[in-house]
Structure 1
Amino acid sequence: LFPSIQMIGFMFGSILGGIISDKYGRRKVILFSMTLVSASMLVMGLAPTVLMLQIGVFSYGFSIITRAVTAMVILNELLSNDKRRTFGILVSVFCGLGGCVLSVVAYCIPNWRWMTLAIAITCTAHLPLYYCFIRDTFGWLIQNKRIKSAEKLYKEVVRVNNINLDEALLSDLKLGTKPDDDESNDVTKVENFTYIDFVTVPFLRKRILLLSFMWFSMNMGFYGLSFNTPNLGGNRFVNAFISSVVEIPAQFLCFVLVKKIGCRMGFISTAGACSVCVLLTPFLQSTNQIAGVVCAMLGKFFISAPFTILYLVTGDLFPTMLRTQSYGACSFIGRVAAIIVPYVLYLGKTVHPYLPYIVIGTVTFISAIAALLLPETTGINLPDTLEDAKQQDSHMKCCQPKKKK
């Protein structure tokens, strides 16, 4: 019940967080969501009733996914083309490390209340860092006509990094607004984009449908293999630790593949390898338990890479004013899969033990094929407008020839 409640929180956070972030700014959403994460953990640890615990779990799910998608958007908008892939993958490495630490903490603090409170205190302790260092991104400020805030942010960057002020850039910024403009009025001049645009604009509709299915399949594979870890036999803490450890080298594989063959082919190769491992697991497990565990962990290894790639490319395919909403819409569909996963695993106990693996492996394989219909985004600037996003369709070839220097 509680995992399903958390996933429902993920769903609402994905949808509402995307709208709020694109409309009111990245910084406000990050600060609100991180504060709510800490408060939710405290509520769960101190909950006197089941109802309060359920509220805490829902609130935690809502806030943690809102923070995750907004943080990924900030990362994409802050960094240049050659840096955002590297740092995006590095974030996933730390997620794997966090899973390893959590396994150790759970082993050392077996009482779930004390463990939850320990995590809540840790989250609360570093909240001041977010308030001190998180800023709205330059791209979001420009697209929302927040010219004065963009100018202020630019001057702060110049001061902190001790670099020369670009007067030409400042002049270009000032041309976008009159000196006596009220910044609050600027927002009303901005064209508003909503989830409806994903349906009414043909090329956006195609992309959101393909990406939603890919998120659905990756969530089903990732959470299916994660939730099934206790059923593999052996010590559950050790299995959980290994399940998190394999995510770390998977990110290095992801880094190499993205550099060598691009995000799209990297996704196709790793998702395809994952589907093979998942389909083989039940057959190996019936003959040798260790071989079955190894194959399942290889599946978790391979599913981690395309999951990371999805986080990297989803925002690349949509303009600035729809970027967080694209993450929200895809994440919403992905959480539907996460809610369904326990019931898919239950089919293994009631219908046939091989059935969950067949379902997860097949869906993962189809998603690898679906990726062929999306453009390659490696080395391409983030699109600011709908026109910029549409021009990406020229990068539909599987292998792009290298440009001569």
Structure 2
Amino acid sequence: MSSDPWGRVDETGTVYVRTADGEQVVGSWQAGSPEEALAYFERKYEGLVVEIGLLEKRVQTTDLSAKDAQVAIDHIREQVDAHHAVGDLSALRVRLDKLVATVESRREERRQQRAKQSDEARKAKEDLVVEAEQLAQSDQWRAAGERLRALVDTWKGLPRLDRKSDDELWHRFSHARSAFSKRRKGHFAQLDAQREEARRTKERLVAEAEALSGSTDWGPTAARYRELMADWKAAGRAQREHEDDLWNRFRGAQDVFFAARSSVFAERDAEQTENLKLKEELAEEAEKLLPIGDLKSARAAFRSINERWEAIGHVPRDARPKVEGRMHTVERALQEAEEAEWRRTNPEARARAEGLTGQLQAAVDKLRAQIEQARAQGNSARADKLERELEGRQALLDQALKGLQEFGG
């Protein structure tokens, strides 16, 4: 019989292992010595020790799932419980129990981690939904559309939640995207309609502009082109493929008209500049009539000058007041000379002037006689009063005499 601290072999070759519950049969050994039997089953024990050690390391250092770890533990425990090894089986059970506790701890950690990840994923998806619902009301079509596409990619990268929660959030997210797409489609449909209306309006404006391009009715046509330009701006933009072509035609028609007008105006300006030069020469000729001497010859000369003046035509607008003012000055001098001549040769006026002069002379003579009489009588106050009256009558008489001299007498 052979034995060691954890087992023995009896005389029949039966191998036993010592446990806290007493000896347990390990197996029967008939092929060799008892020492060889114990050594064989001790090696089996060492194999279990190694296997448990490897499993402990895998649990601690790898991502071995709790389920797979538990299967491995159960497999080793079956071998330990079957007592097919010689050694401290209780110590192996203690290690296996600790390993079970470790696995359960890891399982709980992973459960909490998954719960945390799920909460984070839920929060992230809720944030995506809220942002998507805000974007659904945006009018920044390009930026909002690009952002919504980015949110979809972000959503796809997040873990799934429980089916109910995930479906509810996705429904809100998808609804927001659909609402935005519907609004954007409606906006661009309306924009297309507006641009089509703008195209039709601008085609009408182009047709009128082209019809007016050959007009020589410069003022009204230029005014109408300004109105057409205002209508063009108010019409809004047509589709991109039509806008530039319509504008080129519209602008081209205007250019034809205004180029023709500019050419005509340039010729007219040159003609009016020459007219101005001629009229300035006539104004200078008229000014040589001043001061008026021989009224009859001056009047005939001015009439000749004026006839040539009227035949010349228009001058530049800004030069007109000055050159016409020179002619008006000479014309006024002629008029004043004619009025003076009329007054001098008018018999009725001469008679009136002579009558008035005679009356004033008589009144002056009478006042002088009265003054002399008052002085002789010593009535100085009356004399002074009469002298003041005499001064007024004398002034009127001097003026009347002067007017009478204009009649040559």
What is the TM-score of this pair, normalised by structure 2? 0.17
**Higher relative contact order, chain-length normalized (CA < 8 Å, sep 6+):** 1
* TM, length-normalised to structure 1: 0.17
Instruction: Tell me which structure has the larger Cα radius of gyration.
Output: 2
Between structures 1 and 2, the one with greater strand share: 2
